Structure 1
Amino acid sequence: MGSNTNTIFFFALFFIYLSFPEISLANSEVDDETSFTYEQKTEKGPEGWGQINPEWKVCNTGRFQSPIDLTNERVSLIHDQAWNRQYQPAPAVITNRGHDIMVSWKGDAGKITIRQTDFKLVQCHWHSPSEHTVNGTRYDLELHMVHTSARGRTAVIGVLYKLGKPNEFLTKLLNGIKAVGNKEVDLGVIDPREIRFQTRKFYRYIGSLTVPPCTEGVLWTVVKRVNTISMEQITALREAVDDGFETNSRPVQDSKGRSVWFYDPNV
């Protein structure tokens, strides 16, 4: 498939994304995590999320569910303007949501721009092990950076991690992670630029929230380069959440023929 044809198909993909209802998704993840679990083959596990609550039925019936396996056999190369990042330091807090640990910015932490649409950075959180897989490989951790547009669209950046050297961003948050309980902890000013992820090569597709209610219409960007994290940092994240959520990764979902685009400036 030629590059011009790929670009046309990508425009079609973006128009599909814009066709989803303009509902803010950043804060729509379920608050009461006691009603579901990540333990597979149980009544409250991922296979049954759609039956727990009528408002969650899309978890089982949707056609744009996340995460997925990002396999080379499915991706199409695209040559197009990828995105623009303009992050900046802002006051932030850390919260234990039960099923994960979340850092949310209370001030203006900047934005990303995708196809002339601005998405404001709202929060980030972690899943261990990773939710997305690459050619069947599941990594040790995945960071999700959640952004919303003025019209209620949601774009999420996924960053993958494997065991190795400590992650500098998490090192600065470690005391806050260990101290967080049922109340949010003030972190002071946090600079999202310190997350330091590579942006030259990445995957992009239309998916969903990976936590009930599994709302669809999320524009996903998963960075190809894998960063490193220490076992101490993974352990801190796992021990901070409620019992039963030490591993908080939804299984890979059926892509149902969706297009996945891969950006590589060297090809």
Structure 2
Amino acid sequence: MDPRAKAIISSALFFLYLSSPNISIARDIEVDDETPFTYEQNLEKGPEGWGKINPHWKTCNTGKFQSPIDLTNARVNIIRDEAWRREYKPAPAGIVNRGHDVMVSWKGDAGKITIRRTEYKLVQCHWHSPSEHTVNGTRFDMELHMVHTGAGGKTAVIGVLYKLGKPNEFIARLLDGIKTVGKEEKDLGIVDPRNIRFQTKKFYRYIGSLTVPPCTEGVIWTVVKRVNTISMEQIAALRNAVDDGYETNSRPVQDSNERSVWFYDPNV
């Protein structure tokens, strides 16, 4: 099949999928209380058993569109147009230790992304170490998730991957807050999400789920191709901030179940 025709068909399937009445939409927020679950393997409370801990979490084990996945180049459908827009701005924010991760949440209007004429408001970001998504089987040192919500409770998440290297500018601005974060939310003042600074021209997109209970499906995932850098001090600060046992807080890669993965490249 002609590559251009294949891209058009893949894009059309993406829209049909989003509009399907059978798709479960991610209206449930990520769990804040980590007590019932762990990331340790071969334990009843580990990732393989999340769906049995709480009846509301059964999708973690029964879902067919779970995240994260391995983003394998051999399986992607290449799309030419960029198909999204970012409009972020500074806003008041706070930081809190949720036990299983460190979360920065914006209290005012921190802007939005627009995907195919649908707007999603930025509400929070948090980190996973090591990365949850892999690219061609490669796992990275850290992954940032920028969580957005849209009309009807729909969720869109941007995943930014990091490898060990130069300090990350965004984390550097938050480092004091990360090192002193506790269970009570701490005011950070004005935080500008534009300082996250990631390349937007090339990225993967697919339909998946939340990566922590209740693992709700219907999440639009956008994982940026370009890998940013983070220092060892910054990784250590984020790991030290969480509760004992959650220093590594990445869900294992899930079965793709032959899902379509779109790779957006305006240069193709």
The TM-score range, normalised by the shorter chain, is: over 0.9
Alpha-carbon contact 2:123-2:147 (below 8 Å) kept: yes
Deviation at 1:18, TM superposition (A): 3.3
Deviations 1:179-216 (CA, angstroms, capped at 9, x unpaired): 11111110000000000000010000000000001000
Residue 227 of structure 1 and its aligned partner are, at CA, apart by 0.2
For 1:164, the equivalent position in structure 2 comes to 165
Q: 1:24 aligns with which of 24, 27, 32?
A: 27
**Aligned counterparts of 2:17 and 2:139: Cα–Cα separation in 1:** 28
Note if contact 1:7-1:80 (Cα within 8 Å) is conserved in structure 2. no
SS of corresponding position for 2:259? coil
Structure 1 contact 93–185 (Cα < 8 Å) conserved: yes
Cα offsets for 1:18-48 (capped at 9, x unmatched): 33345534xx211220100000111110011
Match of 2:96 in 1: 95
Is residue 17–residue 218 contact of structure 1 (8 Å, CA) maintained in 2?
Answer: no
Equivalent residue number for residue 60 of structure 2: 59
Partners of 1:81 and 1:115 within 8 A in 2:
no
Q: Deviations over 1:146-176 (max 9, x none)?
A: 0011221110000000000000000000000
Distance 1:23 1:38, change over 3 A: closer
2:207 aligned with 1:202, yes or no? no
Name the counterpart of 1:105.
106
The whole-number CA distance in structure 2 between the counterparts of 1:260 and 1:93 is 34
Which letter maps to 2:56?
Answer: E
Q: Which residue of 2 aligns with 1:135?
A: 136
> What RMSD, in angstroms, separates the aligned Cα atoms of the two structures?
1.1
Distance 1:164 1:217 in 2: 34
Tell whether the 8 Å contact from 2:25 to 2:219 is kept in structure 1 after alignment: no
- The aligned amino acid for 2:265 is D
1:247 corresponds to which residue? 248
Cα displacement (A) at 1:178: 0.8
* Alpha-carbon distance between aligned partners in 2 of 1:151 and 1:57, rounded to the nearest angstrom: 22
Counterpart residue identity of residue 53, structure 2: I
Q: Partner amino acid for 1:236? A: A
* Cα 1:149–1:46 shift into 2, 3 Å: same
The separation in 2 between residues aligned to 1:176 and 1:144, in whole angstroms, is 18
In the TM superposition, residue 265 of structure 1 has moved relative to its aligned partner by 1.5
1:145–1:207 CA distance, 2 compared to 1 (3 A): same
**How far apart are 1:236 and its partner, in Å?**
0.5
Deviates more, 1:15-24 or 1:47-56: 15-24
In structure 2, the residue matched to 1:232 is 233
Distance in 2 (alpha carbons) for counterparts of 1:196 and 1:96: 23
Deviation at 1:10, TM superposition (A): 1.8
**Aligned equivalents of 2:89, 2:120: Cα separation in 1:** 14
Task: Please show how residues 63-82 of structure 1 align to structure 2 within 5 Å.
Answer: 63-82=64-83
Give the SS at the match of 1:34: coil
SS at match of 1:104: strand
Q: 1:173 & 1:237 partners in 2: Cα distance?
A: 11
Corresponding residue for 1:152? Answer: 153
When normalised by structure 1's length, the TM-score is 0.96
Q: Which residue of 1 aligns with 2:47?
A: 46
- Give 2:223's aligned residue: 222
* Corresponding letter in the other structure for 1:257: E
Q: Measured at CA, do residues 22 and 220 of structure 1 come closer, stay the same or move farther in structure 2, by a change above 3 Å?
A: closer
What is the DSSP-based 3-state SS (H/G/I as helix, E as strand, rest coil) of the residue aligned with 2:86?
A: strand
Partner residue in 1 for 2:37: 36
Q: Which amino acid aligns with 2:137?
A: G
Paired with 2:251 and 2:15, the residues of 1 have a C-alpha distance of: 25
Identity of aligned residues (%): 75
Question: Which SS does the other structure have where 2:152 is aligned?
Answer: coil
